[in-house]
A and B are shown apart, each in its own frame.
Chain A
């Protein structure tokens, strides 16, 4: 399995609080992605990174910010969590060239 770790794996938080999810890789891959998975919507891209300090928005970026200060870590922050952000969050990594992405185990976030 690719060296990718998400933390925490489960989190329950209250509406209005900030939350940060971490994706850590040991593969030195260029690309890192954050997705949310919801029934009926598949995986929707939140933000992605194509290098240190290089990030771009995905389809559902409102309410989320990201940071990548070093190759191995990609942080996803919910500035003020809302119930609509209750979801399973997946991180993925991908190297350059014609290669596939590898996924983390996911983080189940519940906002109450």
Chain B
């Protein structure tokens, strides 16, 4: 069965600090990996995605993530956070179409950026 684990439940940073949010998944087959962001009072929006190829993927707003297959990890990074990055971040794993297409999310990490 698929599962996703996000290690940090709440992260507090000052502006310009670097960010790294951990995500590990459990699934034996080929997966697609995602990071979504939810700003206060809004629905989820896609930050970035990994399907295949270069394991370092770049997303919107300066975010990037690295897929390390041997560690079953897909950590999110940003070199310098801004106050506007305050939001909740979710890692997600999707089994391929020939495996049912299930889409599972982690518990989420709340990021608070202090101005």
Do residues B107 and A40 form an inter-chain contact, with CB atoms below 8 A? Answer: yes
In the complex, chain B residues 62-115 whose Cβ is within 8 Å of any chain A Cβ: 90, 92, 94, 97, 100-108
Q: Of the candidates A50, A90, A96, A100, which one forms a contact with B34 in the assembled complex, judged by CB atoms under 8 Å apart?
A: A100
Q: Could you list 16 further interchain pairs (A-B, Cβ under 8 angstroms) beyond the known A35-B105, A48-B101, A56-B102? A: A31-B103, A42-B106, A42-B107, A43-B105, A44-B105, A45-B102, A48-B103, A94-B101, A96-B97, A98-B52, A100-B46, A101-B92, A101-B94, A103-B44, A103-B45, A106-B43
Interface majority SS (helix, strand, loop, mixed), chain A: strand
Assembly CA distance A56 to B97 (angstroms): 14
Chain B residues at the A interface, C-beta cutoff of 8 Å: 6, 9, 32, 34, 36, 43-46, 49, 51-52, 90, 92, 94, 97, 100-108
**B104: A residues at CB distance < 8 A:** 45, 59
Assembly CA distance A28 to B51 (angstroms): 22
**B9: A residues at CB distance < 8 A:** 40
Do residues A30 and B43 form an inter-chain contact, with CB atoms below 8 A? Answer: no
Chain A residues at the B interface, C-beta cutoff of 8 Å: 30-31, 33, 35, 40-45, 48, 50, 56, 58-59, 90, 92, 94, 96-98, 100-101, 103-106
Q: Of the candidates B44, B49, B102, B107, which one forms a contact with A41 in the assembled complex, judged by CB atoms under 8 Å apart?
A: B107
Nearest CB to that of B41 among chain A residues?
A: A106
**B45: A residues at CB distance < 8 A:** 103
Assembly CA distance A59 to B43 (angstroms): 21
Assembly CA distance A6 to B109 (angstroms): 25
Assembly CA distance A97 to B94 (angstroms): 11
**B51: A residues at CB distance < 8 A:** 98
Do residues A97 and B44 form an inter-chain contact, with CB atoms below 8 A? Answer: no
**B100: A residues at CB distance < 8 A:** 50, 56
Do residues B97 and A90 form an inter-chain contact, with CB atoms below 8 A? Answer: no
Do residues A42 and B101 form an inter-chain contact, with CB atoms below 8 A? Answer: no
B11 to chain A, nearest CB (A): 15
Assembly CA distance A9 to B103 (angstroms): 23
